Chains A and B, each alone.
Chain A
Amino acid sequence: MPRRVPDRLLARLLPEQADGVRRVSFAGMRWVPPAAMVAAAAQAHRAHDEGVPFVLVGPTDEEPAHYAARMRLGRVLAELGATHDLPAVREHDRQEDLIEVIRLDSVHAVDRLARMVYRKVRPRGAELAAALHRSVAEVGENVMDHSGTIGYLAAQTLPRRRELLIAIADSGVGVLATLAHRGAQSHEDAIGLATREWVSRYDQPDRGRGLPSALRLIGREQGSLYIASGTAGIRHFPSTRRYSAVDDAYQGTIVEARIPLGPAAAHPQSPPGDAAAR
């Protein structure tokens, strides 16, 4: 039985509902990873669909708050009718080497964003760019196929840690709901099944290679892939896995790839944090 650690990021992304308002809080976060931003956007989307007011409490510190705003999280939330306290930032504050929070709402959008990832990453190597193009396409397609809703994508590089992070989240039915008929009995089971070849919700012999393919490609780049849904999170390293858990279920799925960008890369299991994130 693998040891499970508390999933602090997932716990923070569980919306709280009080007085008819759904709220996610980034208060106290010293940096906001793309996984948090896309998950907040996905939850705001769900609240919008359900007609529930949504509030994001931004980071208390100025730097991560500005960063989240530069990633256009505030704009995405505002478009969904949600409220937030992120600062207003000028458009030219955007850096060239990141992808701000963008919605994945069709197969064409997935294709476009996978191409964008390729173009952004290409200067760092053709093989890495191709691996990420394929991985983003597969994960994005999974969102379109299985979640029953739309998703959000964001990416950033961490220059000091020499890491590239790409995250996709949705607030759909989650992995367990799509794979329960394949024998998954828990969220953790379902995530495990989703990364196994030839396991798919569809009864077609050629289905079920998308996510395993993304996992293999990211592992080949010595990166890790985190998949969280419901009460479980699993970070897949090239040769091991780290299991994490929360008490209450996150509604939807979060996928985050972390790719080292060179020989100076930090160990992928190090805790997150990079004040110079851009």
Chain B
Amino acid sequence: MPTLTLSQLVAGRELAAEAMRKLGPVEGTHVVVDARPLVSGSTSFAGQLVRSALLDGRAAELTILGGPAEFLADVKIAAEQLQVTDHVAFAPTDADLGVHS
């Protein structure tokens, strides 16, 4: 399961795309974004994360683990705009996804 762990502060579409590219090919996989360390993430970063994982990378599913409410709202809005809401899930901070904190 490709997992992207966010730092405390993230911003920028290009940097979101770059972070996703570093995961390698994700087509057909379940991508987990560990947003538990995140303190502040920009709207653009959240939007690009959804685009890069599900549209560009063709991942089957994207799960956001933890993260600040505003960031999650931005992910949700981007998913709605890109019509991929069925492929995006939100897991609480203590969810057991096999991701080490």
* A, B assembled together: yes
Q: Which positions in A face B, CB cutoff 8 Å? A: 107-108, 110-111, 114-115, 118, 126, 129-130, 133-134, 137-138, 141, 198, 204-207, 209-210, 213
Question: A205–B11 contact, CB under 8 A?
Answer: no
Identity of the chain A residue whose Cβ is nearest the Cβ of B42 in the assembled complex: A137
Contact A133/B43 with A206-B50, A206-B82, A209-B77 known, Cβ cut-off 8 Å: no
On whether A111 and B11 interact (CB within 8 A), knowing A206-B50, A206-B78, the answer reads: yes
CB-CB contacts below 8 Å: B55-94 with A:
68, 74, 77-78, 81-82
How does the 8 Å CB contact mask read for B35-61 relative to A, with 1 for contact and 0 for none? 000011111110100110000000000
A205 touches B9 (CB 8 A): no
A205-B82, A206-B78, A206-B82 given; A213·B43 CB < 8 A: yes
Range of interface residues on B (Cβ < 8 Å): 20 to 34
Binding site for A on B (CB under 8 A): 9, 11-15, 39-45, 47, 50-51, 68, 74, 77-78, 81-82
- 30 example contacts (A-B, Cβ-Cβ < 8 A) are as follows A107-B13, A111-B11, A111-B12, A111-B15, A114-B11, A118-B9, A118-B40, A126-B39, A129-B40, A130-B39, A130-B68, A134-B11, A134-B40, A134-B42, A134-B43, A137-B12, A137-B42, A137-B44, A141-B11, A141-B12, A141-B42, A198-B81, A206-B47, A206-B78, A206-B82, A207-B47, A209-B43, A209-B44, A209-B47, A213-B42
Indicate which residue in B14, B15, B44 contacts A210 across the interface (CB closer than 8 Å): B44
- Contacts A118-B40, A134-B11, A138-B43 known; 15 new A-B pairs at CB < 8 A: A107-B14, A110-B11, A111-B15, A114-B9, A137-B12, A141-B11, A141-B12, A141-B42, A141-B44, A204-B51, A206-B78, A206-B82, A209-B44, A209-B77, A213-B43
CA distance A210 to B78 in the complex (A): 12
Contacts of A129 in B (CB 8 A): 40
Determine the residue in chain A with the shortest Cβ distance to B48. A206
The complex places the Cα of A183 from the Cα of B15 at a distance, in Å, of 30
B78–A133 contact, CB under 8 A?
A: no
